[in-house]
Amino acid sequence: MRSRRSSMSEKSTPRWVTATLTAVLCAGSVALAAPPAPAAPVPTVATTSTVTSAATAAASAAAAEAAPRLTRAQVLARAKTWLTAANGRPVPYSQTKRWKDGYRQDCSGYVSMALGLPKPGPNTVSLKNDGFTRRIAMRDLAPGDLIIKADSNSADRRHVVIFDGWADQAHTRYKSYEQAGGVGTRWKQHSYGVNGRDGYHAYRPVNIVG
C-alpha cells in the first residue's frame, strides 16, 4: 500500500507541469548534444598593393637577369665616361633629368649606366633590394662593387658610389666614382661604410664577372 505522503505528492503535482519539465530537459539535452558548426574560412583576397609589389619585384628580377655580363674593368671604364661627357665636363646632377644616353642623372642612374642596367636605371632602393646586387663584407670589396645607403626615409639621404680600390693600407678610406648633388660626376675618396654605423654597406652587382 502506498503511503499517504506519496499519494499527496502525486496529487499536488499536476501532470502538465511534469510534462513541461520533461520537454524542457529533453530540448536542453538535444542542444547540448549538437555543438555549433565551425565558421567557414574567409578567403584571402590579394590587395592592389600586394599585386603591384609582386609585379614590380618580378620586373626587377627580369631586368637584373637581362643585364649584360661586364668585367670590373668594363664597369670602371663606363663610369669614367661621365667625367667628361658634357663637352669635356662632368654630367650635371639631377633627380629629374636624363642624360643623352637615356640614364637618370642622379647617383643610382649613374651606377646603372656603369653597370649597363636597363634604362633609365633602378633607383638606390631597388639596386639594394631587387636582385641587382648581393650583400658582401666591406673587407671583400673589389673595384666595380658598390657601397649603398638605401635605408632612409628621405631620398636625399640615400646614396650609392662605385668602389675603385682602397686608398690606404688600413682600409679607412677608398677611391670611388659617384654622381653627387651640386657637383655631378666625380672621382673622390670616401669612408662611407667603414665604421659600420652610418647606414652604408657593401654590395656586389650580380652581373659582374671576374
Look-up of cell digits 688600413: 170
Using pLDDT thresholds of 50, 70 and 90, give the confidence band for residue 6: very low
Q: Is the pLDDT of residue 85 over 60?
A: yes
In a domain, 120, yes or no: yes
Using pLDDT thresholds of 50, 70 and 90, give the confidence band for residue 2: very low
Among candidates 98, 150, 110, 101, which has minimal Cα distance to 129? 150
Look-up of cell digits 618580378: 58
In this structure, of 53-57, 78-82, 89-93, the range with the lowest mean pLDDT score is 53-57
The sign of the CA dihedral 104, 105, 108, 109 is: positive
In a domain, 122, yes or no: yes
> CA triplet 109, 112, 118: central angle to 5 degrees?
105
DSSP letters, 4-26, are HHHHHHHHHS-HHHHHHHHHHHH
137's CB contacts (< 8 A; 6+ apart) are: 202
CA torsion, ordered 180, 162, 203, 63, to nearest 10 deg: 80
In a domain, 57, yes or no: no
Q: Which amino acid is at 23?
A: A
pLDDT in tens, 12-69: 445 544 444 444 333 444 444 455 666 666 555 556 555 555 666 666 667 777 799 9
In a domain, 192, yes or no: yes
Average pLDDT on 123-149 reads 98
What range does the domain containing 142 cover? 69-209
Look-up of cell digits 584571402: 44
What was the pLDDT predicted at 30? 41
What was the pLDDT predicted at 32? 43
In a domain, 22, yes or no: no
- For residue 153, the domain's CATH number is 3.90.1720.10
Q: Is the pLDDT of residue 194 over 80?
A: yes
Beta bridge partners of 71: 209
Q: Is the pLDDT of residue 170 over 90?
A: yes
In a domain, 182, yes or no: yes
Among candidates 207, 144, 91, which has minimal Cα distance to 103? 91
Q: Is the pLDDT of residue 8 over 50?
A: no
What was the pLDDT predicted at 64? 77
Domains in the chain, number: 1
Answer whether 0.85 is exceeded by the pTM.
no
Q: What is the three-class DSSP state of 50?
A: helix
In a domain, 24, yes or no: no
Which helix (H) or strand (E) element contains residue 38?
Answer: none
In a domain, 180, yes or no: yes
Average pLDDT of the chain, as a whole number: 83
Distance of CA 94 to the CA centre of its chain: 25
Average pLDDT on 69-95 reads 99
Q: When comparing pLDDT for 134 and 57, which is higher?
A: 134
For residue 91, the number of C-alpha atoms closer than 13 Å in the C-beta half-sphere is 27
